């Protein structure tokens, strides 16, 4: 008898594409010319730009499992109950943009794509929850977003994809980009703050200091438990940093509640991963007509939906 056959290698994880839609809607809103109008005269530049992005993604990747996450919790997120000033620096979206968000969600649904949105959870939370549910069933996440907050979700075979720059990285690539490991991102943002979300952070702790502290202590919890050691580190202003950390301990823990992605959000589907479903031809045709898409975009949408030419 010959040597035993080597064990069969495990099947590679199946990709689950998780799209941070709001980023691409806002990008289109700011970059597309304000010349596109729907049948009622409302602007549609954001939905036209988002449709181009979405079609490029679908044609390039041909994903079998995909979910598109939208932010509906602009002022009703659970984080506002924890800290009412969360994102208070952001102006509310104008009606012209809110209408287009609704059109973008409808377009995804018409194409048979799973839409994730919830009034208490942000898109990041929905993406994190979907990824955590899918991993045990043999999926890996491809998170389509440039947002550094989402890097905290990366593990194993997961990947983040900054689509506009065509840059991809996994968990091992996070430190080179942000100065800390993937699992330290929430702690890092709690220390430095996040001006975009109106999170103050710990006074006097900047990006370099936060990276040094987390490299030495590993986590915010360990840092706070061993704060007496901070003054002895080879760190500019170490003694003052130690004072600030003692004074702002409770604030730092509060900031981490805000910067940590919640992975227990309700999802609108029951399976392990959001499978691409059947398109709705009537809904798609109605949207195409109402939003006044041109013939080329119309053809691409019908092809992406698996529909024949009219």
Looking at residue 156, its pLDDT comes to 92
Q: pLDDT value at position 72? A: 85
The predicted-structure confidence for 173-199, as pLDDT tens digits, reads as follows: 999 999 999 999 999 999 999 999 999
71 vs 75: CA distance, rounded Å: 10
**The predicted structure's pLDDT at residue 12:** 75
**Amino acid 2: pLDDT:** 56
Going across the sheet that includes 159-162, the strands are 114-116, 66-69, 14-20, 139-144, 159-162, 167-169
Q: Are 182 and 143 in contact (CB under 8 A)?
A: no
Question: Cα(220)–Cα(227) distance, rounded to whole angstroms?
Answer: 10
pLDDT at 263: 97
**Per-residue pLDDT tens over the stretch 41-87:** 999 999 999 999 999 999 999 999 999 999 987 778 999 999 999 99
Quote the tokens at residue 159.
Answer: 């990947």
- The pLDDT value given to residue 39: 86
Domains in the chain, start-ordered, CATH in brackets?
14-175+262-304 (3.40.50.1010), 182-259 (1.10.150.20)
The share of the chain scoring above pLDDT 70, in percent, equals 95
Mean pLDDT of 33-47: 90
What pTM was computed for the model? 0.93
- Using pLDDT thresholds of 50, 70 and 90, give the confidence band for residue 92: confident
> What b-and-e string marks burial along 278-288, b requiring 16 or more CB atoms within 10 Å of the CB?
ebbeeebbebb
> Over 70: is that where the pLDDT of 310 sits?
no
Which pLDDT tens digit goes with each residue over 208-250?
999 999 999 999 999 999 999 999 998 989 999 999 999 999 9
259-289: per-residue pLDDT in tens? 999 999 999 999 999 999 999 999 999 999 9
Q: Would you give the DSSP letter of residue 135?
A: G
Give the pLDDT confidence score for residue 218 in this predicted structure: 98
Q: Which residues of 209-230 are buried (b: 16+ CB within 10 A; e: fewer)?
A: bbbbbbeebeebeebbeebeeb
Tallying the residues shown for the chain, one arrives at 310
Per DSSP, the residues of 268-291 read: S--SSS-B-----HHHHHHHHHHH
Is the pLDDT at 5 greater than 60? The verdict is no
Characterize the bridge pairing of strands 14-20 and 159-162: unpaired
Inform me whether the pLDDT recorded for 3 exceeds 80.
no
- Confidence band (pLDDT; 50, 70, 90) for 32? confident
pLDDT, tens digit, 9 for 90 and up, residues 118-165: 999 999 999 999 999 999 999 999 999 999 999 999 999 999 999 999
Predicted local distance difference test score (pLDDT) of residue 93: 85
Higher pLDDT, 88 or 58: 58
Q: Does position 1 have pLDDT exceeding 60, yes or no?
A: no
Nearest one of 160, 141, 155, 148 to 185, comparing CA atoms? 148
């Amino acid at each position: 008898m010959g040597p035993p056959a080597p064990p069969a290698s495990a099947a590679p994880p199946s990709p689950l594409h998780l799209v941070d839609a709001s980023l691409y809607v806002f990008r289109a809103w700011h970059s597309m010319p304000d010349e596109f109008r729907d049948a009622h005269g409302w602007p549609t530049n954001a939905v036209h730009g988002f449709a181009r992005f979405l079609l490029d993604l679908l044609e390039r990747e041909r994903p079998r499992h995909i979910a598109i996450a939208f932010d509906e919790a602009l002022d009703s997120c659970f984080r506002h109950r924890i800290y009412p000033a969360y994102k208070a620096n952001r102006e509310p979206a104008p009606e012209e943009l809110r209408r287009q968000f609704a059109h973008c969600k409808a377009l995804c649904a018409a194409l048979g794509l799973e839409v994730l949105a919830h009034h208490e959870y942000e898109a990041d939370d929905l993406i994190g929850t979907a990824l955590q549910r899918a991993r045990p069933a043999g999926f890996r996440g491809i998170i389509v977003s440039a947002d550094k907050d989402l890097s905290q979700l990366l593990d194993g075979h997961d990947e983040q994809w900054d689509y506009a720059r065509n840059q991809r990285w996994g968990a091992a690539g996070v430190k080179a980009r942000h100065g800390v490991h993937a699992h330290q991102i929430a702690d890092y943002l709690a220390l430095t703050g996040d001006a975009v979300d109106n999170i103050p952070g710990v006074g006097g702790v900047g990006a370099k200091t936060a990276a040094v502290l987390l490299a030495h202590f590993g986590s915010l919890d360990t840092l706070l438990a061993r704060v007496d050691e901070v003054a002895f580190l080879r760190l500019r202003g170490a003694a003052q940093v130690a004072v600030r950390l003692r004074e702002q301990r409770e604030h730092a823990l509060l900031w981490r509640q805000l910067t940590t992605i919640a992975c227990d959000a309700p999802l609108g589907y029951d399976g392990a991963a959001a499978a691409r479903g059947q398109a709705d031809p009537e809904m798609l045709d109605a949207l195409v007509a109402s939003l006044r898409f041109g013939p080329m975009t119309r053809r691409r949408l019908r092809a992406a939906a698996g529909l024949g030419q009219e």
